[in-house]
Structure 1
Amino acid sequence: MMSEETTVYTVLEVLIAITCCLGNAPVIWAVWSSSALREPTFCFILSLAVADFLVGFVAVPFAVLVDGQVCTSFTVCLLISCVVIMLTMASILSLLAIAVDRYLRVLIPLRYKKTVTERRSWLVVGSCWFVAFILSSPPIFGWNNQETSQSRNSTINCRFIKVIPMSYIVYFNFFLCTLTSLLVMAALYFYIFFAIQSNLRGRVRCGSTSHIYFKKERSLAQSLVLVLVLFAFGWLPLHIMNCIAYFGKESDVPRMGFHVGILLSHSNSAVNPIVYAFKIPKIQEAYMRIWRNLLMCRDYNQGSQSNQTTENNISSNPNIVING
């Protein structure tokens, strides 16, 4: 029987999963269906939204399973854990691709459209997911907690830390992948804002096209930095607790602390769509267009049903006379 803490954790995970799916599905639909959002940046935002959607649809249910809720073989538990890691890696690499894209828009504004095409952007998106798979696969190929060949086939109470070693989580997943990526992104955005501010100062008295261009770039960059900050806020507490448990003792961090860290990391995927909706005008417009189309379809269907009902009444009652 589950403890009260585990029950609360599971219920909150379910709520986060539903929010992730309901929030990111409109983002995916808006970007995919709108020709105005075919720019490279929005290809990467779409990739991030897909990763966030899969966090709710796949990673959260798997995370509940690898919290000791089921008994599986070592191999199955290991594969489930690696899927959770892969989706996190995909989010990080999508954020990194967005930062590099913003950097190129400021560094080579005149050559940007010829250099960063939609086709190349999709190739980068595919590369991000492929690299995410590669980075999450070391545990599958031996960097795991398997001690004997019998343990791979025997049934275990599936827990993430039973199959994934803390050395991989801390040194490889956090220090090498997550923290390095966050530092690179912070440096890129620092340069972006410095370059934009310098360009705006030079054109402050001029209403030129370049002045408007850099103002738009600054506004979008601010929104994307907010996404990055929320990602860091959501994931760093869990990684810090992992470091404390690894370099000290696992008992130094209470189980509830890990649960809070996991909930924070997953809730990050539910928050991103709110940022897109309130901070990025093009996605706002796409949302409004989708809603208008849905309302028009509803009104059309209601009108069709009303006309059909009228025709049925007339055909069923021959005494009705239509004046003409």
Structure 2
Amino acid sequence: MRYTLRQLEVFLATAHFENVSRAAAHLSMSQSAASGALKELESQFEVKLFERAGKRLRLNELGRQLWPRVEALLAQARDLEAGLLAHQELGQLKVGATLTIGNYLAVSIMARYMAEQPGARVQLEVANTRNIVDRVLGFDLDLGLIEGEINHRDLDLLPWRDDELVVFCAPDHPLAGRERLDDDDLRAATWIVREPGSGTRQTFERGMHGILPDLHLLLELEHTEAIKRAVETGLGISCLSRVSLREAFRRGSLVPLAVPHRDFSRAFYFVLHREKYRSPGVERWLELCRASTAPG
């Protein structure tokens, strides 16, 4: 074999940071050692993998074609190493989840995963749909659990489970107790909503098609709990996943509002890079998610 795994690690780190010094620091190498490994990799095959743009090194076309294949190869090597060192198959898993899924569903799945395999490690990153997708595209996450629909040629989007958004308010709000709301009620209301880029916001805007420009959006917040607290204090009404509202409805601190003529149904999805190696840990995580019977 004419290349080493270390050379491939330097290639990937340089592709990620676009700088040899930062790549070397990330790999705990000297800059000269990293530069030498990259130069040797290119000279062995008489190719160039980067173009210099000022102080940055950017992948050329050949480098871009190799990136996902090298990423997949190193992922398999890391998985093999983890199995040899820890005598286990699942190893470390890096999962991204959107706020609703991360806060209300993913933690229980993570607990089951780790209970099955003592010593297995899971890193759970919680962000909005746009950020999770970007992290999967950049090979920073093994998989993502998202609320929004995306379409990208490098990603696989797999359905997981159904969900719906619910319009809600505080129990002493003037709209509480109404049998149903019409579009005039929705236009007259003051809204507290999720930020652009979130799957919840995407579904909300789709459900409000035709009247969206007429809505009074008072606040845009990144966290569902902050939105719930704001609604509880009477600042306005909102629309969030039923999964995130179940406990508040049970306590009576928030109440649902019926808007039957508006469609707020949606699905949760798995998102994975098509070129990334799917380890036994990834496959087991998907199985646990699909087997989950939590209502929602």
Q: Name the structure with the higher helix share.
A: 1
TM-score of the alignment, normalized to the shorter chain, above 0.5: no
TM-score for both structures, normalised by structure 2: 0.25
TM-score for both structures, normalised by structure 1: 0.23
Q: Name the structure with the higher strand share.
A: 2
